[in-house]
Structures are given as C-alpha cells and as structure tokens.
Amino acid sequence: MNALQGKVAVVLGASAEGGTGWSIAEAFARAGAKVLVAARTQEPLVKLAARIGGTAVACDAGDEGQVKRLAETAVRTYGRVHVAVNCAGLPVQGTIAEVTRQQLQDGVNVNYFGHVWFIKYLAEAIGSDGAIVIISSITSTHPDQNFVGYACAKAAANCLVRYAALEYGPRNIRINAVLPGPIDSHMARETFQDPRMRRAFEREVPLGRIAQPADIADAVLWLAGSAYATGLDLHVNGGMQLRRMPRLDELPGGADSYGEGLPLGDRAPARGPVE
C-alpha cells in the first residue's frame, strides 16, 4: 500500500509554476495525499490547488505568526498533518565585503528562522508519527562566494535539522533536509539555454546533467514516506557534492550573470542563486 495514500501534506513555497515546491505538491497528490499548498504569492497558488484538488493558503515563510496560522489552518481543514515540506527561500546575493546588515537579516528571517517556525508549528500539527523535510542548498556545504549570506543561513538550517531530529524523534517525527544543486526548472530555462552556462554547471555533476524538479520531488517523497531516516542533510544533486560550485570567473558574464532565473523557492526574485 502507498505510504502516502490518504495522508495530509503541507507544502510551503509552492507558487512558482514548474518549480521545486510546485512539483513536490503535484507528486504528493499523485501519491494519493491531500495537499495544502502555501506561499506569499496567491494567484499561482490557487491555480496549483485547483490542479491537484488541494487547498491554497497565503503564508510568508519568514513570519512566525503566519507560519503558526498555516499549521492551525491545516489542522482545522484536514484534522491533522502527516507530512510538511518547506521549500521557501530568499536569496542574499553578494560577498562578505558587499553584504549589508539588512540583507543578512532578511535572508536569515526566511532561510533560517523560517525553518525554525516551520518545524516548531508543523511538528505541533503532526503530533506524532510523521515527517518534516526542508529544502536547503548545496551552497551550505560547498562555498559559493557570491551568496555568502544565503549559504550561511542555509548551513544554520542544516544544523537545526539535526537538533530537531533529536528533539522530535521520541514522537516518531522524522526531520531531514534535502540539499539540491542547480535545478532546470521553468524559472531557470533562460539561464540554462546558454550552453556555456549549462556546461559550467554540468561539468561539476558526476551524473552529467542538471536536476529536474521531479528529481527533488522523488527524494522528498521517499523521506516523507516510511523511510527509516532522520537528521539527514541529503545531497540530491547528481553527485555535485563530490566536486564544487563553479567559480565566478568560469561563468559567462561572471558574477553579473550568475543567478539570473535560477530557482530558489517562493520568495525568489528574478535574480537568485542555485539551490
């Protein structure tokens, strides 16, 4: 029997059509789960909910009160939650010399504090016997000098997952992080249409190709099912963790071109780093 059939899943950061969160929500629905999707951007979210027969809820991932209300809405709508996934992310572009206090604070609010609130309130909604997955980043373990604020906040989120796995393990709530590399989503199509940009990333991936959103969704479904795993920082990037991120001088256009259109979750603007 499908481990997700009839379960309730919450996916935050799912408003980018064809993106990672969107694909994860669709995968849960195909697996027979009831899916509540959430994001700041409401219009595409409503489209996704209609497509998968789910529920759409507005939620800013960096706002503790809104994340708490998201969890309460899920319980009120479906009775309980079994699985929760946080895909939302906010890029902070720049080096240490360039970054401002405000940029760092904005990034930490979503990329670290947002995961704290998500785990805290969605674990409460789950109660026991469930799973929480956060989408982190390869940049949290493999330096990318142009996104230091983003990467450091994601590294803190990885540490959070280990502490949360210990805290919620006695309630059989499994908590893991997925660390993607670059993802060839709809948002990144224009970037990766440049064969020089595509080659710069693909040569650092042992499997020889950039991920599709479905690759990340497959890993999330495994972690959300009956997997005997918790506290993982799971690299899902074709083996890119065995190599490195491309240097800025290896990219066409250098730092000025890096990040255009690359997917980062619900809160990503037009320019953002790879996952």
Dist CA 265 CA 154 (whole Å): 13
Q: State the catalytic residue, choosing from 150, 168, 228, 258.
A: 150
Dist CA 177 CA 41 (whole Å): 24
| Residue 258 designated active-site | no
Tally Cβ neighbours within 10 Å of residue 62: 22
Dist CA 144 CA 216 (whole Å): 21
* Furthest C-alpha separation in the chain: 54
> 75, 8 in Cβ contact below 8 A?
no
Listing from the earlier edge strand, what are the strands of the sheet with 55-58?
Answer: 55-58, 34-39, 8-12, 83-86, 130-135, 173-180, 233-236
Residues with catalytic roles: 150
